[in-house]
Structure 1
Amino acid sequence: MSPVSPWQWIEEQHRQGRELCLILDSLGEMETRQTLLNGRACDRYASVYDQTSVARLANAGPYLILLSRADTEALSGLLGAPERNWGWLASIAQGDLPALLEHWRQRFLLDSRPNQALYRFHDNRTLTRALDHLSPDALPPYLGPTISLCYWQGEHWLALDNPAPGEYPLPAMPEWLQVPTPGRLRGQVHVINVYRYLLAHHYEALRQLARHRRPLAWIHAQRMQAEQWGWLEQEHLQFLALHSLPRPGYGVPDAWNPRPDETPHMHFERVSQMAGFSQGEGVL
């Protein structure tokens, strides 16, 4: 795949008579979402999590929004800031939004209770890793009714055509769930997992954070702090994020900084004890 201009890709989809669909991460783009939904007919968008077992997360979950040329300004804002990892673009046949919605509703929830997890198909980084590893035969069951897609790969825009768009049952062993996770992506996986934890267990606090900060960017900053302290495990990041979330400025007190004679383990144990004494101060 070669780099493309997203605007040229969009024009080609319009020329082919296809519908243009925005797959949007709502939690980080609520203002953009509201702008796009204002006055839009209800059959021109859908919340993926709505009417599912995780409907309580619908407001912060992914949305599918059919775009028109009138949405150029809002779309320009997104295309001009791909580093926000807001999602990706797909083209579908006229009238295929319900099929696309059902397709991803069958694929976003992994495992069964109590070990359920959310597959972040709407995250262009998740999409990129999958597309980098999927065999040609696995592309149609993964992409479903999507005819073509355009996404930010991390350095440039790429486009990919689905070799056989259509409706497919969920495979027993989806190939996209077997994508290897390189060591360099370990920290990113920790960020996503902590985000999922906060979304599932501390949604209101996360929603309040989203009014001032981009949640994933904030958790990433927490990870950088944790790694600077030598706290390298996911439980360390989860602890730091959980106890920073209710504090003014979403940070930690100076007393939590490491002492010169402390190992990372000693530091974490001391801070854990301090946090234990102040549990009643937070909102979580």
Structure 2
Amino acid sequence: MNILVQGAGALGSYFGGRMLEAGENVSFFVREKRANQLRDEGLKIVSPEGNFECKNVNVFTQTDEVENVDVIVLTVKGYHLDQVIPQVETIVHQTGAYVLPLLNGMEHLEKLQKAVGKEKVIGGFASIIATLNEQGHVVHTSGSSALKFGSLHPEQTDVCDKFEDLHKRVKTNLLKEENILKHMWKKYIFITAFSGVTSATQLPAGFIANVEATFEVAKKVIYEMSMLAEKEGIELTNQEIENMVKRLKKFPEEATSSMHQDLRKGLPIEVEHFHGGALRLARKHEVTIPVIETLYGVLKPYEHGKPYEVRK
């Protein structure tokens, strides 16, 4: 398969690198600054799943350079989606590629489907805790990783089967799911709680597990998000919901969310795509989600990076 990874942050670099390591024809579509870094430093992964380094990475920065693509793996942050949709639209038009977005939340699906057609947008998400260091190398800190995907349209069956075949050759998990929307919602539910609380407290997972009041906040976020999922037609059992609650206490004490890592670096955060998206769904269904609304208010000032420091 010919795979184009659009966005080469920690997520795109990791999964793109793993597919490159397995011998797939992988290229990256990135902004000029990241392109120069990849040309100078190469792509390097430091990971419990095995280290990998490639010095010569195929990089594009202009849409007219791209051809012969089967799948675009879209790994940009949610706040860059509107900016890159015209690029995705152009690449799909000139190559016929399918789009596999690995963005957080759910709102991106409708936006992409409107741009390139429902038959072209595959469902998917990624599970990994990783960041880029100063050299632009991937530092993978969770013990494992997974990219889950699944068909949202009958025309996607063949390309999903081909993507599934990669699982046998890569040093990560590429897993096809029959009910991908449900799995995407379960990720959205959990990460809204975990990211929200670690970022609002500016503390790692151990404080969720060991401080009962903090754990209660995260648990209530899961309950509020599960209610929204049900309103959207996603059936979750009580056991599935409680398993997500229990998972909050299973992280290593020092583990944290990507949102918290971005906040600590003074970078933009995806509060609008996690908590803001949930609030828009709540308004749509005329329900209230007070805990999520509070976290949204606490984190919103950090949306575009470190807030302006008030002069004394």
Normalising by structure 2, we get a TM-score of 0.28
Which is greater in Rg? 1
